[in-house]
Chain A
Amino acid sequence: QTVVTQEPSLTVSPGGTVTLTCASSTGAVTSGSYPNWFQQKPGQAPRSLIYSASNKHSWTPARFSGSLLGGKATLTLSGVQPEDEADYYCLLFYGGIQGVFGGGTKLTVL
C-alpha cells in the first residue's frame, strides 16, 4: 500500500513564504505521478490549485506555485495572505489512474 506523506502542520506569518512537501513511499515523486495540490477550508469541498506538479488553473492565485524538488512534489505560497489558512492535500497517481492522497497539511497563518 503506497503511502503519501505531508507535513501535518506548518505555521507562517502573513506576507511570508512557506513550502509544503509531498513524498511517496515508493521513491521519488515524478511528473508521471501527476502531482495535484488541493486547498480545503472548513465546511467546503477541496479546490484544485495545482496539477501535473506545476500547472495552475485560471482560478489559482499567482502566489501559489508547484514544483518537483529533491524527489518530492512541493507547493510554495509566497506572500501568504490570512485567507490562505486552510488544509492542503497532495494527490499522486499510481498504476494509471489510481490515486493516493497525502494526509494533509494544516497551514496556520499567524
Chain B
Amino acid sequence: QLQLQESGPGLVKPSETLSLTCTVSGGSISSSTYYWGWIRQPPGKGLEWIGNIYYSGSTYYNPSLKSRVTISVDTSKNQFSLKLSSVTAADTAVYYCARLAAAGTLNFDYWGQGTLVTVSS
C-alpha cells in the first residue's frame, strides 16, 4: 500500500523559507506513470495546487506561486521536497503531498496526512 508522509518544521518566521519533504513508501518515486505533487489548504479555506514534479526533475508550478516555489526530487531516498521562499502569514496552511497518476489520466490518487505549517515570528 502506497504511503506518503510529509515532514518539516511546523513553525517558520516571516520572510524565511518553508521547507518540507515527502517520503514515499510502498512504491517507487521513479515510476514513469506518476508525477508527485504539493497541495496546500489554509485553515478553514479551500485547496490550492502548488506544483508537481516528475522523477526526472521536470517541474510544473502554480503561476501565482512560481516565483517563490522550488520542488525537487531525490530518487535515491524516494523523497521529493518543497521550498517556498519569502513566506508571510498568508502561507500558513496544511501542506499535503500527493501522487499524481498520469497514465491516460490525471488524478491525485494517494495523499499524505498533511502537515500544518504556521508562519509567525
Contact = CB atoms under 8 A, between A and B. Distances in A.
Contact of B107 (A40, A48, A96): A48
Contacts of A38: 47, 108
Majority secondary structure of chain A interface residues (helix, strand, loop or mixed): strand
Given A1-B63, A103-B46, A104-B47, A97 B106 contact: yes
Contact of B114 (A45, A55, A93, A104): A45
Interface in B92-111: 96, 100-102, 105-109, 111
Given A97-B35, A98-B62, A48 B108 contact: yes
Bin chain A's interface residue count: 20 to 34
Q: Is the interface of B mostly helix, strand, loop or mixed?
A: strand
Interface in B29-53: 35, 37, 39, 46-49, 52
Q: How large is the interface on B (under 10, 10 to 19, 20 to 34, 35 or more residues)?
A: 20 to 34
B57 to A, nearest CB: 15
A31 to B, nearest CB: 10
Contacts of A71: none
Nearest to A46: B111
B10 interface: no
A65 B36 CA distance: 26
